[in-house]
A and B are shown apart, each in its own frame.
Chain A
Amino acid sequence: MNTKQRKTLCTALITALAMLTLGCDISEDRPLTVVSWGGSYARACVEGYHEAFTAETGIKINLEDYNGGLAQIRAQVRAGNVHWDVVDLRFPTWAQGCDEGLLEHVEIDSLPPGADGTPAEEDFLFGTSTDCGVATLFYSTIYAYNKKNIPGEKPTTMADFFDIEKFPGRRGMRRSPQENLEFALIADGVPINKVYATLNTPEGVNRAFRKLDTIKDHIVWWEAGAQPPQMLADGEVIMTTAYNGRIFNAQVLENQPFVIVWDGQILDLSGLAIVAGTQNLEAAKKFLNFASTAKAMASVGSRIAYSPTRLSAEALISKHAEKDIDMKPHMPNNPQNSKRALRNAWEWWSVHIDEMNERFSTWLAQ
């Protein structure tokens, strides 16, 4: 090899090395990865506060979709390669992730005060905070039907959902034991305030699975929250469980003739958490603070029918952001809707979720 060749080779190597380090630099300065539930909910969040956050702080957001659960977070923390920064979690998953050390701790008094200046710890509704942050919204898992596909008598109770004789046809349900076990017990006649006490016994769990057995052959399983409105519109199912906000958006923005049955639904909490070990901790904290302001919560709540968890944000909600519709009657914690609602006992779920998941996946394959 002559000198010239050697020189060229050296230059090439140095350039390659420089590009490699440059590549690392770019990845360190990456945008904040926020993982959420996709579809109309993610759209409401983007319009509600993601855009405002980027405009105010200059931090870009990379939005990803997932369908719940801790599996991906566990895998990332276990491998020490965390590429999700902030995740939108349901409360039971949240409590479990917090206990397992998968989520960063967030103190409630570090969060911004309410719109009227009330300190955060007084402004947030009772039971909406954990060591790893606070919930930002109430939502409900309800069931809904398409008026077009049920011509005669309409379903009105949870028992009707499980009644194949009265309402023949396929049903959509989320591919998870959560909510479905509760629905099965309510339909089987367990009083709403006894559901978790019943589930706490092996006989109660068996009873729930036996009830699910009666409609197993008629169930179409969904995973993403955007699927149920689609399945109702296509006529793939005659009724389906769904997140209430998704059905609301289909009713309001797409004029679908969907009806929500407010009976035996599960009232639940969801909010943002920071994955332990993220490289973007500072930006993630800023984002969490921004999302838990009353303004951001109310902004989401006027785009999709999920109601805020702080008093001062509730007061800000009136009309839909685009349509001339009062949001209050559509909210899951509106007294009119929540008369026969079951509040998710996330404590129970965070203890039993793995056991139930395993039993459920076995039951599905049997």
Chain B
Amino acid sequence: MNSNTNIKTNTLRPRLRATGLVLPLLAFIAITFIAPLAMMLVHSVYDPTVANALPETLNLLREWDGKSAPDEAVYATAARELLKARQDRSLGRVATRVNRVHPGLRSVFTRSARNLQNVREGPYREVMIGLNSAWGDIQTWYAIRSAGDRFTSRHYLNALDLQPLPDGSIARQPPERRIYLALLWRTFIVSLSITAICLLLGYPIAHLIAHSPPRIANLLLILVLVPFWTSLLVRTTSWIVLLQTQGVINDLLVTIGLIGDDGRLAMIYNMTGTLVAMTHVLLPFMILPLYSIMRAIPPTQMSAAASLGANSFQAFWRVYWPQTLPGVGAGSLLVFILAIGYYITPALVGGSTGQLISNMIAYHMQTSLNWSLAGALGGILLVCVIALYLLYDRIVGIDRMRLG
């Protein structure tokens, strides 16, 4: 009994100490990865801006029948709360939020609030409709009520090119506003193509490096690694220098007479640019896992296969290829997942046709400041990646993946 506790405490101490050593890492992951991820997901469904700014108006609107313009009490409360929002400078955000439900309402809010400063007495219904006829439109009040929900699925619907209608049903966006599904699809196709090109290009190179004499292998490995260590921005901009209309490759083609001066190829600021530059950037992520797997395969196996009567293709296909599958899986998954969220390269060389879903997320983060929609798009991307991972696990088995 006594000795048993002794053993327990004896093993507990080092364990605690080991945990203590890992704690900084856990804290780091929690702060830099889990917390932002959670915040992004919260942002995509939770937005209290309007609910906080217009609480009483929303309370009154809950009892509104929704068939005709609301009564004077609603107008008077709304006028008071709009003025208050203007004073504490939250009006801009409130107006932006409502504007997303019903485009055009932003200026109705900001202008009306400015003019309401000079209004001393009601009836507010007449005053507000006089300031802007939109206040007499029941759609405006629907929009306020809808934007007042703290929790909403609107952003996820928008991210899938859908919209909730006032009566609670869901409809597709009008054609000129449909974009995200097409972009998501484009992102998948591009990522798949890049993965396939990386595999086609990377497999022979990895094989060459793995089965060359050490000195040559080291040299080749350095050739792979030097671009890998070079700044992403430098590599991307050097592609601009090479591929642009007045760039090195076009100049060369014109000089040797393959194309005329007016027939210069458009190889950048379009999908070609995105494909070329991203393949180059991601290639090392394919080569390195393949290389480490191939290095472990004894070259004598191929000779053995040959001596048993297999031709070189049979020897490759039945002996060599199956053994490299864990590397192929690891490299492909790595390249695909990196490609699906890639942002800087398409932004620089993609023009307008080479943009991916990540560029739209960046647009909503930085320009339109629609963080909720950005969060919803990010959430959908996250679900896609997890689904792919699970699919991979089901088909290939994640324990078979080896990075080296």
Contacts and interface: CB of A to CB of B under 8 A. Distances in A.
Interface string A348-366: 0011101101110111111
Contacts of A277: 89
B352 A100 contact: no
Interface string A59-95: 0000000000101001101100000000000000000
Interface in B145-200: 176-179, 182-183
A51 interface: no
A362 B176 contact: yes
Contact of A276 (B89, B111, B246): B89
Interface string B337-361: 0000000000000011001000010
A99 B176 contact: no
A284 B110 CA distance: 25
A101 B360 contact: no
Interface stretch (B91-99, B136-144, B251-259, B328-336): B91-99
B241 interface: no
Given A101-B91, A354-B103, A355-B103, A69 B367 contact: yes
B354 to A, nearest CB: 10
A250 interface: no
Contacts of B366: 71
Contacts of A101: 86, 89, 91-92, 110
B237 interface: no
Main secondary structure of the interface of B (DSSP, over half): helix
B107 interface: yes
Contacts of B110: 96, 99-101
Contacts of B355: 364-365
Contacts of A102: 92
A234 interface: yes
Contact of A74 (B269, B363, B369): B369
A366 B179 contact: yes
B156 to A, nearest CB: 18
B365 to A, nearest CB: 10
Contact of B368 (A235, A358, A365): A358
B318 interface: no
A352 B106 CA distance: 9
B111 to A, nearest CB: 6
Given A99-B111, A357-B368, A78 B93 contact: yes
Contacts of A276: 89
A267 B177 CA distance: 30
Contacts, number: 82
Nearest to B357: A365
Interface in A318-366: 350-352, 354-355, 357-359, 361-366
Given A99-B110, A100-B110, A350-B107, A220 B89 contact: no
B103 to A, nearest CB: 4
A258 interface: no
Interface string B368-383: 1100000000000000
A188 interface: no
B272 interface: no
B20 interface: no
B91 A71 contact: no
B89 A77 contact: yes
Given A74-B369, A99-B111, A236 B104 contact: no
B246 A99 contact: no
Nearest to A234: B246
A109 B261 CA distance: 59
B107 A351 contact: yes
Contact of B106 (A235, A354, A359, A366): A354
Given A74-B92, A100-B95, A361 B363 contact: yes
Interface string A103-120: 000000000000000000
Contacts of B269: 220
A363 B182 CA distance: 12
A221 interface: yes
A206 B175 CA distance: 12
16 contacts: A71-B366, A99-B107, A99-B110, A99-B114, A100-B92, A100-B106, A100-B110, A102-B92, A206-B176, A351-B104, A351-B107, A355-B99, A358-B103, A362-B179, A365-B182, A366-B179
Given A69-B367, A101-B86, A221-B352, 18 more contacts: A71-B366, A99-B107, A99-B111, A99-B114, A102-B92, A206-B176, A220-B351, A235-B245, A236-B245, A355-B99, A357-B368, A358-B103, A359-B176, A361-B368, A362-B177, A362-B179, A365-B183, A365-B352
